[in-house]
């Protein structure tokens, strides 16, 4: 059952009970008053009659007294317009009034000189009073019914206004919260309990929305932290380096250990043992090379404040690779900056960078091509670019090219440290390296600070 | 019957060393250089009615690594015993190795450790 209906029913019940009790006492009181009036009027008439009668019975003879008494009573009856009063010679010795069989019976003994001569008796039917009381009762019931009906109507109307409308709004809001729609709030201006509930509900959904937003932000932050970690992991971190070192050294160490074990246990002998020893030597050399490059990678920062002239260094580096380029049918071109300037990097580091990039470029053109190394001045920067005419770097490889130990070359051809070393040296000298690659070739461009002097 | 082992290792020197170390003590070894060749060799041998008794593979190899090759093998329902070798046995590698029911050997791998692992794997699969 709806709240308003319950509330109305309770109100109707209370009204009926309270009004009925009130009506019961009021009607009872009214009836008592009417009866009292009746008794009083009996007494008053009887008292007047008594005054005249008692002397008669003392002074006059009995017959005369009786005749005069009846005459006086008849006169009194005529005055009240009904034959209420009678003379009863043996009407009792005590004055009393009582209701007997639907009528009020009053006895008033007449006494003189200590002798009771008879009694004035009044009998009056209560039918009229009863009829009056029934009418009163009907009116009262009608009144109660009317009041209760008005009360019920008011309760329903006010209930709809004060209770059902706000509750409908609150229920709708609760359902919205349930569906996760937290942006809406509910307000209807009233300061009662429902108004308070609405305010609390709005506050709760706001808090919920905030905590949801917060947890979303936290999740996003966590995700981006994880992304950053992954990113960091992918780039040249200690972990990546360690994995690379482990992998690079794991294989040659396996070979060295394996051959040694087989020689020691006599499983290989003679020529085979010599071959095993050569393999051990080759792997030891390879491991030495890895260690050296690791040292380059770690100690890539050159001496502080040293500068060099890039034209000369680039020219010398390319000349040193002349034989390798010829063998690979690669033509070399040099474009040097005019006039010459100085850059903030030591000669050895710059030569290592140019050599690493040029070797990569030559290897990227297995069927020949052109290697172009250029030096040019752009504002306060010196740009050194190494360009090949090879097939370009695939996108998935390009992401990783500056990571240590990342290589696309066959086992033994490269350690995967070349570009990582280049990247490290350039950034350590305050420069920038970028790569531009496409199907017609790849260009590595490095911008280094021009020395001020 | 002589056990037939498919061995995948991208480094040629190590591949031939491990192959000979296993052949010396009496196994038949089919050496391959990549995960793709490993899958090819297993399929070919099965076709010839000589399903391999054991597969040994390096984890890190160009194009198709040992873990991916092992997953592919398991996906085709092959329950052949597996030994994976890795130089960098981090948690991820260990979990992946366990998920394909493979024994994981750390590099540098010792010949004696590899021979023990092979013998144990063959015993387990025979039981």
pLDDT in tens for each of the 453 residues of chain A? 678 888 889 999 999 999 999 999 999 999 999 999 999 998 988 888 888 888 888 888 888 888 988 888 888 888 877 778 889 888 778 888 998 888 899 999 988 888 888 899 998 888 888 999 999 999 999 999 999 999 999 988 988 888 888 888 888 888 888 887 777 777 767 778 888 888 888 888 888 888 888 887 777 666 555 555 454 444 445 666 677 777 778 888 999 999 999 899 888 889 989 999 998 998 898 888 888 777 776 665 666 778 899 999 999 999 888 888 888 899 999 998 877 788 988 888 898 889 989 999 998 998 899 999 999 998 888 999 999 999 998 887 887 788 777 766 655 556 677 888 888 888 888 889 999 999 999 999 999 988 875
CB contact B4 to A (< 8 Å):
no
The set of residues, in sequence order, having a beta carbon less than 8 Å from that of A385 and lying 6+ positions away, is A372, A373, A374, A376, A443, A444, A445, A446
Chain centroid, CA B28 distance in Å = 13
Tell me if B21 and A262 make a contact (CB, 8 A cut-off): yes
Rounded-to-integer distance, Cα A362 and Cα A26, Å:
122
Rounded (5°) CA angle A212-A214-A215: 65
Tell me if B24 and A267 make a contact (CB, 8 A cut-off): yes
The set of residues, in sequence order, having a beta carbon less than 8 Å from that of A158 and lying 6+ positions away, is none
As given in the structure block, the two tokens for residue A248 are 């690079």
Q: Which residue of A has its CA nearest to B87?
A: A247
Whole-prediction pTM: 0.42
Q: What does the CA dihedral A399, A403, A408, A414 come to, rounded to 10 degrees?
A: 160
Burial label for A178, CB within 10 Å (0-12, 13-18, 19+), is exposed
Tell me if B17 and A411 make a contact (CB, 8 A cut-off): no
As given in the structure block, the two tokens for residue B102 are 């493979």
Burial label for A253, CB within 10 Å (0-12, 13-18, 19+), is buried
Q: Which residue of A has its CA nearest to B63?
A: A408
Selecting from B20, B107, B112 the residue whose C-beta is nearest the C-beta of A250 gives B107
Rounded-to-integer distance, Cα A372 and Cα A77, Å:
153
As given in the structure block, the two tokens for residue A423 are 């990247």
Rounded-to-integer distance, Cα A195 and Cα A208, Å:
20
**Does the CA dihedral A189-A194-A198-A203 come out positive or negative?**
positive
Element (H, E) at A328: none
Query: Which residue has tokens 């950034």?
Result: A427
pLDDT of the residue at A242: 72
> Is B85:B69 a contact under the CB 8 Å cutoff?
no
- Closest to B62 in 3D by CA, of B5, B11, B7, B6: B11
Q: Maximum Cα–Cα distance for chain B, whole Å?
A: 38
CB contact B92 to A (< 8 Å):
no
Helix pair B35-47, B66-75: axis angle to 10 deg? 30
pLDDT of the residue at A237: 52
CB contact A323 to B (< 8 Å):
no
Question: In Å, what is the CA distance from A78 to each residue of A73, A85, A143, A174?
Answer: 9, 10, 40, 83
B111 Cα to chain A: minimum distance (Å): 5
CB contact A261 to B (< 8 Å):
yes
Tell me if residue A178 falls in helix, strand or coil.
helix
pLDDT of the residue at A305: 79
pLDDT of the residue at A301: 62
Rounded-to-integer distance, Cα A26 and Cα B73, Å:
102
CB count, 10 Å around CB of A61?
10
Q: What does the buried/exposed string (b/e) look like for A256-289 if buried means 16 or more CB atoms within 10 Å of the residue's CB?
A: bbbbebbbeeebbeeeeeeebeebbeebeebbee
CB contact B107 to A (< 8 Å):
yes
Helix pair A193-234, A165-178: axis angle to 10 deg? 10
The set of residues, in sequence order, having a beta carbon less than 8 Å from that of B43 and lying 6+ positions away, is none
Rounded-to-integer distance, Cα B23 and Cα B100, Å:
26
pLDDT of the residue at A141: 93
Find residues 411-440 of chain A whose CB sits inside 8 Å of chain B: 411-412
pLDDT of the residue at A232: 47
Give A187-193 contacts, CB < 8 A, sequence gap 24+: A190/A162, A190/A166, A192/A162
Tell me if B88 and A243 make a contact (CB, 8 A cut-off): yes
- Closest to A284 in 3D by CA, of B113, B108, B24: B108
In this prediction, residues B57-63 reach a mean pLDDT of: 85
Rounded-to-integer distance, Cα A353 and Cα A437, Å:
19
- Closest to A386 in 3D by CA, of A400, A409, A365, A407: A365
B54 Cα to chain A: minimum distance (Å): 20
Residues shown for chain A: 453
Under DSSP, the state recorded for A390 is S
Question: In Å, what is the CA distance from B60 to each residue of A56, A247, A439, B35?
Answer: 151, 8, 29, 9
């Amino acid at each position: 059952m709806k709240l308003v209906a319950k509330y109305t029913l309770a109100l109707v019940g209370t009204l009926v009970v309270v009004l009925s009790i009130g009506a019961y006492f009021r009607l009872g009181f009214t009836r008592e008053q009417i009866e009292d009036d009746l008794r009083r009027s009996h007494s008053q008439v009887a008292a007047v009659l008594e005054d005249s009668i008692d002397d008669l019975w003392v002074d006059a003879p009995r017959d005369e007294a009786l005749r005069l008494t009846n005459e006086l009573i008849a006169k009194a009856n005529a005055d009240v317009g009904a034959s209420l009063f009678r003379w009863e010679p043996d009407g009792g010795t005590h004055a009393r009034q009582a209701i007997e069989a639907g009528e009020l019976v009053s006895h008033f003994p007449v006494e003189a000189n200590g002798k009771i001569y008879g009694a004035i008796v009044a009998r009056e039917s209560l039918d009229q009073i009863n009829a009056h009381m029934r009418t009163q009762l009907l009116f009262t019931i009608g009144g109660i019914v009317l009041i209760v009906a008005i009360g019920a109507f008011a309760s329903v109307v006010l209930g709809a206004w004060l209770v059902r409308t706000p509750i409908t709004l609150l229920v709708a809001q609760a359902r919205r919260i349930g569906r996760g729609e937290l942006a809406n709030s509910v307000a209807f201006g009233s300061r009662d309990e429902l108004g308070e509930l609405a305010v609390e509900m709005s506050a709760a959904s706001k808090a919920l929305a905030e905590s949801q937003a917060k947890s979303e932000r936290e999740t996003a932050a966590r995700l981006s932290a994880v992304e950053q970690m992954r990113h960091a992991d992918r780039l040249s971190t200690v972990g990546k380096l360690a994995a690379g070192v482990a992998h690079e050294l794991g294989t040659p160490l396996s070979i060295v250990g394996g051959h040694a074990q087989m020689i020691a246990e006599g499983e290989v002998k003679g020529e085979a043992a010599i071959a095993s020893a050569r393999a051990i030597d080759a792997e030891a050399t390879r491991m030495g090379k890895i260690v050296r490059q690791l040292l380059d990678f770690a100690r890539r920062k050159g001496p502080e404040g040293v500068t060099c002239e890039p034209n000369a260094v680039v020219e010398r580096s390319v000349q040193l690779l002349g034989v390798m380029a010829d063998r690979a049918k690669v033509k070399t071109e040099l474009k040097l900056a005019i006039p010459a300037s100085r850059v903030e990097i030591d000669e050895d580091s710059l030569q290592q960078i140019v050599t690493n990039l040029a070797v990569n470029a030559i290897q990227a053109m297995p069927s020949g091509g052109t290697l172009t190394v250029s030096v040019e001045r752009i504002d306060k920067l010196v740009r050194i670019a190494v360009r090949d005419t090879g097939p370009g770097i695939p996108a998935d490889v390009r992401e990783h090219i500056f990571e240590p130990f990342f290589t696309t070359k066959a086992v033994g051809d490269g350690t995967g440290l070349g570009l990582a070393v280049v990247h490290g040296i350039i950034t350590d000298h305050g420069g920038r390296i970028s790569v531009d690659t496409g199907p017609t070739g790849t260009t590595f461009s490095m911008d280094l600070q021009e020395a001020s002097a | 019957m002589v056990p037939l082992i498919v061995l995948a290792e991208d480094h040629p020197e190590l591949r031939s060393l491990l192959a000979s170390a296993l052949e010396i003590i009496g196994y038949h070894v089919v050496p391959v250089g990549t995960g793709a060749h490993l899958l090819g060799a297993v399929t070919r041998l099965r076709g010839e009615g000589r399903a391999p008794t054991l597969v040994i593979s390096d984890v890190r190899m160009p194009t198709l690594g040992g873990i991916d090759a092992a997953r592919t093998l398991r996906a085709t329902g092959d329950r052949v015993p597996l030994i994976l070798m890795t130089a960098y046995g981090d948690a991820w590698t260990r979990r992946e190795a366990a998920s394909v029911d493979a024994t994981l050997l750390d590099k540098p791998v010792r010949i004696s450790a590899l021979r023990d692992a092979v013998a144990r794997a063959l015993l387990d699969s025979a039981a």
